[in-house]
Structures are given as structure tokens and as C-alpha cells.
């Protein structure tokens, strides 16, 4: 019997690019030239998986190897898929309880066209921070603000961009966030070291975004604001729901659950049960079968207001399945690209040419964005570049939370700009606006990577392995805590930093 194994090799450049070009080309056709006969990313991804598998087999892998590559990546995202299912239940329960309608009703009373955008962004950020999920934030208060914004006469793309900005700020700063924990984990640094580093880029950009939203609000054409729209929405809500301040309690339950650090899945389910109980107390009675039907298929709301009915027809497990199908295919495609050698071929030698902090930050971000766009998942945009560049961060004497921050600055924030990624598809389905339309107004997501790259090239806003930090004014001072890293890695990075300081390539502590 022949026990020899077929030699496995890296693909050549054309082979490495073939699955990516195939998928991207089909995406361009679907979203621009298919005459809307088909407008989803699923089929291009399937074809991309097939082409990537063929490339892998041509390079010496077996079909079993390719399947293993897909399964490995799918296994890492199963919890996110389960959370997505429960978010569908959560949205349904908050709809039938009257919680989201109440948010819309009171929001129309409190917010004005001029203050809506900055205040709304802050509120969405608070919800995102409390629940640790940009998806939950946009799926609850984000939906409410989309309706409020329409009632105030604000462009839905701007409202969606505002909601995305707030949701992702809250998500990034939350220790409960899956991407926040993932970035800290793959970079091998402490969770709160990572959060501290993110504040240095996302914090200033968030302030800038609030200023921009304030300017947009102040410059809004009040003449386009028709108060009868808001009044009509409020009348429709009052006619269909029992509205009172107690209906906002389920939102507080989400906050409490997250403060207590209840794990994601049980935490969301507690909120789901709260919403169901409130629906029985404050709204019309439903049988167990009717409750199951609403949670599974989503609510059917008839208020007499066509726009409001469409806005409230959200939630349910079935509503999430389109996105879950996309996530499964997207993650499988990412696993295929990784297994067949595309990622290693395209980026494996890039870091040899990097000799500056700015260049390293830019390369890491470009790789993350490439993974977002081609592997269609923010988890891969974080997880794939980390092992490619982590030793280069050590060579330059950087702290590992500098790596984790950079992964999130691009891998998390720009994943939502592509309609075919899991994030982009979910937000498009939830908010009803294409990422192509709302991303120019998602100022935090748009500007954060740009701000991070510019400051890195200027030698500012840098965390060093020994606990020093170079601030925006170019002064390098020691922080109270040294960012966490494995002991061996930390010692090596510090020794490299001392060597670079002696050579004048890294700033000294002043």
C-alpha cells in the first residue's frame, strides 16, 4: 500500500486571488447588474467556496482538509449564531411588550430635529455598552430611533449612520462584547488593557462624531419637518398599545444583566422572558401558542400607520435565518481561504518590509479590512491578522494592546460597510438601509481607522511594551499599569524597545 502523502504547497498569486476575485466579481454583478432578480450575497459565496476548494485541492490538500478548515471556523462562531437567534426573540418580545413602541412614543416627545442625532448617538452607545452588542443595540433602540428619525423628517441614511456609530462605540468599550474579548484574546493582552487602548482612538473620534452630528442637526431644514408625521405615529401607537413609563423597565433589565456580567446567551434570554411577561401584564393577553408564534415568526402589528407597521414588523427567529445563512456561508468561505493558503500567500511576506509603527498599523488594518471584505466576518477580520503580525509588534517594542486596538479599529468598525458581510447584512436587515448608504454617515466607523493610522505615522498615540505611552503631543510617559502579555513575549518586546531607543528609533521617557 502506498502511504506517501501528496505534497502541500502555497498557491501562486493567481491561484490565491482566484477565489477572492470570483466572489467579489459575482458580488458586483449581483448588486449592480442583476436587475434585482437576485440581491443577496449567498450564491456568490457558495461559488467562492467551490473555487477556493478547487484551489486547495490543486495545492495538495484533500477535500477532508478543506471541510476541516470550514468546520474549524464555524465552530468558533457558533456562539455568535446562537446569540443572533436569541436577539431575534428579544426584538419580538420587546415589540409585543410595548417597550420599543414606548421608546418611539417618548422619543418623539423628547427629541427635536436639531438634538436628535447627537443625543440619539449617545443613547445608542449607552445601550451598546450595557449589553456588549452592537447588534442588540441597533435591534432594539436602533429600530426605535429609525422610526423617530422618520417622524422628525431626518434622512434615514443619516439616522442609520448615527445608530451604527453609537452601537459600535458601546460595543467596543464593553467588556461583555464578543469582539472586544476576541481581540484581547488573540493579541494575548488583558481585557481592560485592550479597552484602555481603544479609548485612545475611539474616544476622540466619538467626540468628533458628536460634533458632526450636532452640526448636521443644527443645519437641518426644519421646513421639511412635518409634525403631523410624528403625531400620526404617536396616535397609532396609543391606539394599538398601552403606553406607560413602566414599559421602559425591560431596557433597564438588559443593563442590570450586563452589569452583573451574566453570560450573553442567558442574559439575552432573561431579557426575552421579561419582555414576554410585560406583554402579558400591559398588553393584550396571548396564549402560549400565540407567544411561541410571535417569538418564532415575528410580530404582525396593524396600527393603521403603514410606516409604523413596517417598522414594528421586526424580530423572530425566522427573521434572523437569512442573516444566519449568510454568516455560515461567509465563515465557511473564510475557512476555505485560510486553508488553501490565500491569506498566507497574500500577506505572509508583507511584514518583512515593515519598519515603522505607522506602516505596521496600516498593514494590520488593511489585512483586517481585506479579511472583512473577502471572508465576510468581523471575527475573521480580527482573528486572521493577529498571528500574522503579532511578532512584528514585539520586534518594534510595542505593547500587545496596541495590536488588539488596531485589530478592532479596522476589523470591527469597517466590517459593517460591506453589504455581504455578516455585520453589514444584519444591520441592513435590521435598520432597513444599505451600508452603502449609511456608512458615509457612520462617522465613528468611517474615521476611526483613519485617525489611528495618521496618529501612528506621526509617532503619536502609541502604547509601548514597558508601559510607556506616547500621547497626542508627542510626550512619552509611563502609565500606572504595564499592558499584560505573556512573560516571554513581554521580556523580548521590552528588550527590543530598549534597543530601538538606544538607536534613536523609539522615543525615550520624558
Taking only the tens of pLDDT, the chain with its 510 residues reads: 444 557 889 999 999 999 988 987 887 787 667 776 887 778 888 999 999 999 999 999 999 999 998 898 787 667 767 877 887 888 888 888 988 888 778 877 777 778 889 988 988 887 777 666 788 788 777 887 887 787 777 889 999 999 999 999 988 887 667 788 778 877 888 877 888 899 999 999 999 999 999 998 887 665 555 566 667 778 888 888 999 999 989 888 877 876 676 766 787 789 899 999 999 999 988 999 999 999 998 888 788 777 677 667 767 888 778 777 877 887 788 788 888 988 788 877 777 788 899 999 999 999 999 888 876 778 778 877 887 788 899 999 999 999 999 999 999 999 999 887 878 888 888 888 989 999 999 999 999 999 999 999 999 999 999 999 999 999 999 988 888 888 999 999 999 999 999 999 989 887
Are residues 371 and 304 part of one domain? Answer: no
Q: Could you say which DSSP state residue 38 is in?
A: -
Q: Does residue 509 belong to any structural domain of this protein?
A: no
**Shared domain check, 128 and 38:** no
Q: Is 67 a domain residue?
A: no
> Is 65 a member of any domain?
no
- pLDDT score recorded for residue 1: 44
Largest CA distance in the chain: 83
Domain hosting 85: range is 78-319
pLDDT of res. 169: 94
Helix (H) or strand (E) holding 470: strand 468-470
- On whether the CB atoms of residues 297 and 310 are closer than 8 A, the answer is no
121 shares a domain with 29: no
378 with 238, same domain? no
Let me know: does 9 contact 388? Beta carbons within 8 Å: no
Three-class SS state of 469 = strand
Do 43 and 87 fall within a single domain?
no
276 and 237, same domain (yes or no): yes
| Whether residue 188 is found in the same domain as residue 49 | no
Query: Can you tell me which residue has the cell 491569506?
Result: 343
The answer to whether residue 267 sits within a structural domain is: yes
Q: Is residue 383 part of a domain?
A: yes
CA–CA distance, 182 with 384 (Å, rounded to integer) = 11
Residues 392 and 481 in one domain: yes
| Count of the separate structural domains present in the chain | 3
170 and 105 within one domain: yes
Handedness of CA 46, 50, 56, 59 (dihedral sign): negative
Asked, for residue 104, whether it belongs to a domain, the answer is yes
Q: Count other C-beta atoms under 10 Å from residue 180's C-beta.
A: 23
In this structure, the answer to whether residues 393 and 252 fall within a common structural domain is no
Candidates 425, 247, 224; CA nearest to 321 is 425
Residues 276 and 400 in one domain: no
Cell readout for 269 is: 434570554
Q: Pairing state of beta strands 476-478 and 462-463?
A: unpaired
**Residue where a domain terminates, one of 28, 60, 92:** 60
Whether residue 99 lies inside any domain: the answer is yes
313 shares its domain with 364: no
The answer to whether 435 and 428 have CB atoms below 8 angstroms apart is yes
Question: Is 326 domain-assigned?
Answer: no
Amino acid at each position: 500500500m502506498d502511504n506517501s502523502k501528496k505534497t502541500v504547497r502555497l498557491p501562486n498569486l493567481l491561484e490565491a486571488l482566484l477565489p477572492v476575485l470570483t466572489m467579489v466579481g459575482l458580488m458586483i454583478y449581483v448588486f449592480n447588474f442583476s436587475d434585482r432578480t437576485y440581491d443577496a450575497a449567498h450564491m456568490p459565496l457558495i461559488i467562492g467556496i467551490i473555487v477556493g476548494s478547487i484551489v486547495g485541492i490543486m495545492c495538495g490538500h484533500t477535500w477532508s482538509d478543506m471541510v476541516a478548515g470550514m468546520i474549524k471556523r464555524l465552530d468558533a462562531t457558533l456562539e455568535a449564531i446562537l446569540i443572533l437567534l436569541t436577539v431575534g426573540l428579544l426584538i419580538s418580545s420587546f415589540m409585543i411588550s410595548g417597550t420599543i413602541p414606548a421608546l418611539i412614543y417618548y422619543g418623539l416627545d423628547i427629541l427635536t430635529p436639531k438634538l436628535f442625532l447627537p443625543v440619539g448617538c449617545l443613547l445608542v452607545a449607552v445601550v451598546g455598552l450595557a449589553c456588549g452588542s452592537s447588534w442588540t443595540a441597533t435591534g432594539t433602540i436602533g429600530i426605535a430611533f429609525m422610526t423617530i428619525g422618520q417622524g422628525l423628517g431626518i434622512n434615514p441614511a443619516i439616522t442609520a449612520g448615527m445608530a451604527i456609530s453609537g452601537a459600535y462605540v458601546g460595543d467596543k468599550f464593553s467588556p461583555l462584547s464578543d469582539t472586544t474579548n476576541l481581540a484581547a484574546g488573540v493579541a494575548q493582552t488583558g481585557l481592560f488593557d485592550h479597552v484602555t487602548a481603544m479609548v485612545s482612538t475611539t474616544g476622540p473620534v466619538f467626540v468628533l462624531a458628536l460634533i458632526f452630528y450636532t452640526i448636521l442637526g443644527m443645519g437641518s431644514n426644519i421646513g421639511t419637518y412635518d409634525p403631523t408625521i410624528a403625531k400620526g405615529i404617536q396616535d397609532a401607537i396609543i391606539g394599538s398599545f398601552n403606553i406607560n413609563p413602566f414599559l421602559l423597565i425591560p431596557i433597564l433589565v438588559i443593563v442590570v444583566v450586563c452589569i452583573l456580567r451574566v453570560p450573553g446567551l442567558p442574559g439575552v434570554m432573561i431579557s426575552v422572558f421579561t419582555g414576554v411577561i410585560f406583554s402579558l401584564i400591559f398588553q393584550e393577553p396571548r396564549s402560549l401558542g400565540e407567544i411561541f408564534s410571535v417569538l418564532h415568526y415575528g410580530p404582525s402589528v396593524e396600527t393603521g400607520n403603514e410606516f409604523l407597521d413596517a417598522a414594528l414588523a421586526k424580530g423572530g427567529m425566522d427573521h434572523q435565518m437569512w442573516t444566519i445563512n449568510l454568516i455560515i456561508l461567509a465563515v465557511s468561505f473564510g475557512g476555505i481561504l485560510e486553508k488553501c493558503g490565500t491569506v498566507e500567500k497574500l500577506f505572509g511576506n508583507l511584514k518583512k518590509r515593515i519598519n515603522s509603527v505607522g506602516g505596521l498599523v496600516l498593514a494590520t488594518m488593511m489585512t483586517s479590512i481585506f479579511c472583512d471584505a473577502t471572508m465576510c466576518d468581523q471575527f475573521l477580520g480580527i482573528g486572521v491578522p493577529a498571528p500574522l503580525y503579532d511578532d512584528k509588534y514585539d520586534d518594534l517594542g510595542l505593547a500587545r494592546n496596541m495590536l488588539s486596538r488596531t485589530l478592532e479599529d479596522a476589523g470591527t468598525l469597517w466590517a459593517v460597510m460591506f453589504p455581504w458581510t455578516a455585520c453589514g447584512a444584519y444591520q441592513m436587515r435590521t435598520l432597513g438601509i444599505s451600508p452603502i448608504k449609511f456608512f458615509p454617515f457612520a462617522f465613528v466607523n468611517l474615521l476611526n481607522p483613519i485617525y489611528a493610522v495618521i496618529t501612528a505615522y506621526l509617532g503619536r498615540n502609541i502604547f509601548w511594551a514597558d508601559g510607556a505611552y506616547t500621547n497626542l503631543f508627542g510626550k512619552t510617559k509611563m502609565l500606572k499599569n504595564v499592558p499584560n502579555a505573556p512573560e516571554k513575549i513581554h521580556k523580548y518586546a521590552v528588550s527590543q524597545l530598549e534597543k530601538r531607543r538606544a538607536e534613536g528609533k523609539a522615543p525615550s521617557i520624558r
